[in-house]
Amino acid sequence: MSSQSMKPVTAAKKLDVYLPATPAQFQQGPVTRAELTALQADPPQWLRDLRTQGPHPKNLVAAKLGVSIAGLLRGGITDALTTEQIAGLLAEMPEWLSAERATQSQVRRDERRVKSLHSDRRQSRDTDG
């Protein structure tokens, strides 16, 4: 019985790292579930470095900047960024980033409001019925 394996791009997503920044050996072949588990349990130096210094994939860049991935694109950010570049953007706080952070904050408030509204309606139905 062969163990399940995944493409390097899938493994990189599960590890929250930017695939092109990983070692060639990681990029070239399938990654088994056991290998992935081992990487998660005891990350090698290259993985620890990528997680702390980057470059980071867009989903992490967006999260660290407090914006959506679409907001990154609207701001002209199309490539992976390092931790240092992200810190620089946060310190500089360009107008687009400030606007996108405000938009993202409003979206989150709206999502919480809708979730609360649905929860209240469910509770009301449960107590009425």
Q: What is the pLDDT of residues 10-50, one digit of tens each?
A: 999 999 999 999 999 999 989 999 999 999 999 999 999 99
Rounded to two decimals, the pTM is 0.77
Sign of CA dihedral 84, 88, 89, 93: positive
Is pLDDT at 1 greater than 60 in this prediction? no
Percent of the chain with pLDDT over 90: 79
Residue given tokens 């050996």 in the structure block: 25
Would you say residue 129 has pLDDT above 80?
no
Q: What residue segments make up the domains of the chain, in order of their start?
A: 1-52, 54-129
Share of the chain above pLDDT 70, in %: 96
